[in-house]
Structure 1
Amino acid sequence: MRPFRHLCLLSLLACLGACGPNQDPEVLTLGGPFEFTSQDPARDGFVYTRLQVAESLLEVDDAGRLLPGLAQGWAVDDDGLTWHLRLREKVRFHDGLPLDADAVVRALEIARRKPGVLRSAPIVEIRAEDRLGVAIRLARPYNPLGALLAHYSTVILSPASYRDGSEVGWMQGTGPYRLEAFDPPHRIRVTRFDGYWGTPARIPQALYLTGHRAESRALQVMAGQTDIVYTLDPASLDLLRRQKDIRVHSDAIPRTIQIKLNAGHPFLAERDARLAMSLALDRQGIASHLVRVPGMEANQLIPPALADWHLDDLPPIRRDPERARRLLADLGWRPGPDGILQRAGQRFRLTLVTYADRPELAVVATAIQAQLREVGVAVAVGIVNSSGIPSAHHDGSLQLALVARNYGNVADPLSLLAADYGDGGNGDWGAMGWRNEELPALLRGLEAERDPARYRADARRIARILAEELPVIPVLFYTQQTAVAARVRDFGFDPYERNYRISRMSFASP
C-alpha cells in the first residue's frame, strides 16, 4: 500500500472509531458490495437467501450435491419427464400461512414467467398432486432442473407476498429470519422467526448494509462498526490481517475472473490472436502480488470445485511474451513506431471494461493493460456498471470485458454453460461472435444424460474445447475474502454464495 493511501485509511479509521463500535448483543451487522432495489426473487433474490429470509425447494451442500430443502424428498420418473417433490410437514410462512402444494405451484409459475433460470427449463406443467405433493412435467428430460430448484430466483413465498398477481409487495418467506425493514438500495434488517420449522437462529437480528466502497467497508469492520464484511479489496488485506480482533477468511468459490471478448471483432476473430493475448498474461504475478492469493491462477474456465467440468491434466498457462509476439506476427501484425502493432493500416487498440462491485477487478484490469502493452496491444480500461457489459454485448459495441463469472450460480453449471456457449455461441457473460459446431450438441445431450460416467466425459470434452478455442480467456480462479470481527462465533462460508449461514452464528460472551 502506498504511504499516502495508508495514512488516509488510518485517518478515516480514527474518525470511524470515534463514532463508537457496534457492540449490540442483539444485532449482527454485515457489509457487502451489491445493492438491491426490490423484493422480487427474479431481480434480487440472492439477498434474501443469503439473509435466510426465503428458502428454495432444494438446497446445496459445499460439494454441490443437492439436498432436501422445503421439499423433503424428490423422485424422477424413468423416462425423465416428470419430477415429483414431497413437501415438508408443518412449515409455515412468516405470515402464518402453511406451506402447501398450491403455494409452491403459484411461486414456481410466477418464477418461470419472469427473467430467471426457470425460463430455460422445458417445463410443460407444474401441478399439485395432493396437499404436499408437487409434480413438474417436462417436454424432454432435463437434468439441471434440480439445481434450478435450488436457485435464489425459485424461492417459495407465501401467496400473501404478491400483489397484482406477480409483483412482491412484502416478502413472506419460510426462513429462520423474517424481513423487518427494507430500505433500498443500502439497508435491510431481518429478525429471528420464532416459528421456523428447522433449527432456530441464535442471533436475534441481522442488519445488511451495502453500497460503500471496498476500502470503507474494511475500515468499518476495523472500527467495530460492522461485524462481517464480504468481498474485500486486495489493498486492505494486509492491514486487516494485522488486527488482533479481526479474522480474515479466504474461501475458494466456483467463480472465475476471465476476459470476455468479442470474437467477431476483426482483431480477435483468429484463435491465435486470442491465444497470444492469453500468453501475454502473467497470471502468477497477478495472483501473488496484486490479488495476494498465490496459486489461484486459472488455466481453464471451470474451477476445480466443479469436478465433472474441470480438467485435472491441463498444464498451467505460463507467460510467454515471445511466443505471443510470434503468433501475432504470423497473423500479419507488425510493430509501429511506438511499439503498438499495426495491420492493414489499423492499430491493435481495444477497450477493456470492468465493474467496481468486485474490487479486485479494476486492479487486475490495470495489470492486463500493462502486460498486453508489452506485446504491442494497446488497451484502454474503463469502469462501468455491471449491467453495462451485457448491454454492450447486445448492441455489439463490446470489445473486451473483465468479469468474475459465477459458475456456481446453480449447483450444476450445465444450464449456465448452455446460455453462455450453446446455440449461437452468444451469451451475455460468455461467448460473443464465436461458433463451434460440436459444443452445442454436447450441451444438449447432457440435459438428458443419466449415466454419471458419460456425463463427466462429455462435460470434460466441453471444458477442453473451451480451453483450446479460447472464446473467453481465463485469468484467475476466485477467492472470496471475508473479514469477521472476533466477537462472532461459528462463522461459516457457503462456496455457492447462496446463504450467509447467519442462523448458525453466535456472539462471544462479553
Structure 2
Amino acid sequence: MKIMQLKKSVMTAGVLVTCFVLGCGRNQEKKEEVKNKNEITVGVTSFADTLEPTEQYFSWVVSRYGIGETLTKFDQKGRVIPSLAESWINYEDGRTWIFKIRKGVKFSDGTEMTPEMVKKSLERTFELSNRAKTFFNLQELVIDGQNLIIKTDKPVAGLPGCLADPLFLVVNTQGDTDLYASKGPICTGPYMVESFDPTEQCVVIKNNYYWGGEVPLDKISFKCIDDQITRSMALQSGEIQIAYNLKTENLLDFQDVTKYNIQSLDSLRTTFAFMNENGVLKDKVLRQAILRALDKETYAKTLLEGGAKSGKAPVPPTLDFGFEELIDENTYNPESAKKLLVENGYKDIDNDGYLETPNGEKIELEFVIYSSREELKVYAQASQISLKEIGINIKINTVSYETLLDLRDAGKFDLLIWNVLVANTGDPEKYLRENWYSKSPSNQTGYKNKKVDELLDKLSVEYNKDLRRNLIIEIQQLIMNDASTIFFGYETTYLITSKDIENALLYPTDYYWVTDKISIRKESKE
C-alpha cells in the first residue's frame, strides 16, 4: 500500500536524522551548565520574524514568551478570568462594556499603565491590524476614572474572551514603537526582551517592574528547533529544558519519570487545508472528489501513530459542539470519488495518469505547507499519494510559516495547510468567522455562503449558551456540506520538560508557554 510506503520513508528519514544527531554528539556538559544558574532554554517551533504584535499572528509569540499581557486571560479550564482588567460588566444594550483597569501595573520600562494608555494601545491595534475587526467593530473607547468603556457597533456576547486573544495585548505606545519589531514591544509581562534574532533565538530577562510579584527566573532563551527529532535530542542532552510540539513517536525517549515530566492534552486545534475556489477548485464536484479520496483515519492512526484523531468537522470532538451529530457526505470512498469525476466530465486526455477538467484544462494543484510542524508534511505527502490514485496531480510547496501567511493573505494557493486553535476567544465563534465569513479579510478562498454569514452574525449577538451551541453546529454542517475545506485531524498536544522544571503548565488555549510561575527546582541548583 502506497500510504504504508510513505510511513516507511518518514520513519527511515527520522532514523537517519537521529543517527546524525547522535553521531555529532550533544555536549553532556550542557546539563551541568544550567545548574547554579537561574535561567533555562526552551525549544520551540513556528518562530517569528518580527515581534511587532499587530503583524499576522506574532502577538502569540509575545504572549507565549511571557512578554505581553491582555486585559483578560484564560485559566487552565478555558474560562475567562481577570488579568490587566480587574473586572468587567456589560450594559443591557449589549454594545457597551466597562472594564476596570488594574492599578499598580507598570510596563517593563517602569512607566505606569493607566486606562488612557490601555485605550491608546487598543486604538493602535485596530489601526494596524486587519484582524482586529474580525473580533468586533470598535465604535468608541471612553475613559471614566479607572474604567475603560468599550462601545461596539452591535452586541458582542464574547467580548471579554476576544480581549484575551494576544492580538489585544497592551503595549506602551509612548515608546519608540518602530523598534518593537526588532527589539520587542514594551509590555507588562514577567519578562522583557533582551535580544531577538529572527527565526533563530529570542532571549528574555526578568521584568523587575512586574506587577504580579517576584519573577522566578532571570533569563529564558527560546531557541528555534523546527525538526522534532533534533528538538527531542536537545532535551535529552540538556541543551534545552522544555520542548514544545513533540509528537507521539518521541515519547519513548522520555519514559524515565526521574528525569522528565510529560503532559498531554486532547487538542483544541484543528489541522485543515483551505481549498481556493478562485481557481479550478471552484467546482464543488472536484472538491468533493478530493475529500472522498483522503484516508484521514489511516493518516491519524498509522502515519501519526495515534497522535491525532481523524478529522471531519471544523471543531474537534474535545469541545461539545456536535461532532457526532454532524453528517459528513464526503467520507473516505475513493471509488465514489473516481465515479463522481468521470460522471462530471473529468478525463485523462493525454494518458499521463492525471485528469483534465471537462474543458480540457490540466489540473495541477499547488499544496502550500509550512515546515515547523512535522504532521503537516505527513498529511500533505499522504494526500499527494491518495489523490494521485484518483488522477489528481498535487505539487507540494514547503515554505516558512511567515511566507505561508503571506500566500494565504494574497490568495496565492490551491490548497493551503492551516493549524489553528479553535476556541481562541472561549468558544469557536471567532475561529469560524475569521475563516469562513465571506467578508473576513482572512478569507481569501472565495468561499461564500449567505446562510453561514447570517448565522455567524446571529451568533455574535447571542448570549444563551445552548442557542450558541446550536448555531455553531448548524454553521459547521453548512461548511461541511459545501465541501469547502479538508479537515485532516486533531492532534494531541504534548509538553515535555526536564524534571528540574517546576510549574510549566499546559493550557488548552496555548497562549501561555512561559508564565510568572515557571521555575527551577531548588534541589537542582544545589
TM-score, normalised to structure 2, is 0.86
Indicate whether 1:126 and 2:135 are aligned: no
> C-alpha displacement at 1:29, in angstroms?
0.8
Change (3 A) 1:247 1:175: same
Equivalent position to 2:198, from 175, 184, 189: 184
Q: Report Cα offsets for 1:108-143 as digits up to 9, x if no partner.
A: 11111111543332212112110x211112222223
Partner of 2:125: 111
> C-alpha displacement at 1:11, in angstroms?
4.0
- SS of 1:56's equivalent in the other structure is coil
Equivalent position to 1:491, from 492, 498, 504: 504
Contact 1:218 1:240 in 2 (8 A): no
Indicate whether 1:365 and 2:377 are aligned: no
Counterpart CA distance in 1 for 2:311 and 2:317 is 10
Partner of 1:418: 433
Counterpart CA distance in 2 for 1:350 and 1:295 is 26
Partner of 1:473: 486
Partner of 1:407: 422
Contact 1:161 1:170 in 2 (8 A): no
The 5 Å alignment of 1:187-226 reads 187-198=201-212, 200-210=214-224, 212-226=226-240
Q: Which amino acid aligns with 1:372?
A: L
Partner of 1:261: 275
Partner of 2:459: 446
Q: Report Cα offsets for 1:251-293 as digits up to 9, x if no partner.
A: 2332211121122433x33334322221211112111222223
Counterpart CA distance in 2 for 1:264 and 1:112 is 29
Contact 1:431 1:471 in 2 (8 A): no
Partner of 1:250: 264
Q: Which amino acid aligns with 1:184?
A: P
Equivalent position to 1:147, from 154, 161, 170: 161
> C-alpha displacement at 1:466, in angstroms?
1.1
Indicate whether 1:349 and 2:364 are aligned: yes
> C-alpha displacement at 1:462, in angstroms?
0.4
Partner of 1:386: 401
Equivalent position to 2:39, from 17, 24, 27: 27
> C-alpha displacement at 1:98, in angstroms?
2.4
Q: Report Cα offsets for 1:421-466 as digits up to 9, x if no partner.
A: 2235x764x5612321211111112222223232222121101111
Change (3 A) 1:318 1:391: same
Q: Which amino acid aligns with 2:164?
A: A
Q: Report Cα offsets for 1:164-211 as digits up to 9, x if no partner.
A: 799896533222223333343422222333543335433333211125
Change (3 A) 1:270 1:181: closer
Counterpart CA distance in 2 for 1:124 and 1:427 is 19
Contact 1:258 1:476 in 2 (8 A): yes
Change (3 A) 1:2 1:163: closer
Counterpart CA distance in 2 for 1:400 and 1:464 is 21
Alignment size in residue pairs: 505
Partner of 2:108: 94
Contact 1:30 1:208 in 2 (8 A): yes
Contact 1:446 1:455 in 2 (8 A): yes
Contact 1:161 1:168 in 2 (8 A): no
Counterpart CA distance in 1 for 2:306 and 2:169 is 34
Q: Which moved more, 1:121-130 or 1:241-250?
A: 241-250
Q: Which moved more, 1:229-238 or 1:172-181?
A: 229-238
- SS of 1:161's equivalent in the other structure is coil
Partner of 1:71: 85
> C-alpha displacement at 1:375, in angstroms?
2.0
Contact 2:312 2:488 in 1 (8 A): yes
Calculate percent identity across the aligned residue pairs: 22
Indicate whether 1:314 and 2:326 are aligned: yes
Change (3 A) 1:270 1:169: closer
Counterpart CA distance in 1 for 2:287 and 2:256 is 41
Partner of 1:287: 300
Change (3 A) 1:14 1:22: farther
- SS of 1:179's equivalent in the other structure is strand
Q: Which amino acid aligns with 1:53?
A: I
Q: Which amino acid aligns with 1:260?
A: F
- SS of 1:207's equivalent in the other structure is strand
Partner of 1:84: 98
Counterpart CA distance in 2 for 1:394 and 1:174 is 30
Counterpart CA distance in 2 for 1:166 and 1:53 is 12
> C-alpha displacement at 1:306, in angstroms?
4.2
Counterpart CA distance in 1 for 2:512 and 2:274 is 28
Q: Which amino acid aligns with 1:459?
A: I
Partner of 1:13: 22
* Gap runs ≥5 in structure 1: none
> C-alpha displacement at 1:45, in angstroms?
2.0
Counterpart CA distance in 1 for 2:25 and 2:425 is 38
Counterpart CA distance in 1 for 2:159 and 2:30 is 45
Q: Which amino acid aligns with 1:133?
A: N
Indicate whether 1:375 and 2:402 are aligned: no
* Gap runs ≥5 in structure 2: 1-9
Counterpart CA distance in 2 for 1:449 and 1:4 is 50
Counterpart CA distance in 2 for 1:3 and 1:255 is 28
Counterpart CA distance in 1 for 2:335 and 2:102 is 62
Change (3 A) 1:199 1:291: farther
> C-alpha displacement at 1:353, in angstroms?
1.8
Contact 2:201 2:221 in 1 (8 A): yes
Q: Which moved more, 1:110-119 or 1:15-24?
A: 15-24
Q: Report Cα offsets for 1:388-411 as digits up to 9, x if no partner.
A: 445445655421122223323433
Partner of 1:506: 519
> C-alpha displacement at 1:299, in angstroms?
1.2
CA RMSD of aligned residues (A): 2.9
> C-alpha displacement at 1:33, in angstroms?
1.6
Counterpart CA distance in 2 for 1:407 and 1:63 is 15
Contact 2:368 2:417 in 1 (8 A): yes
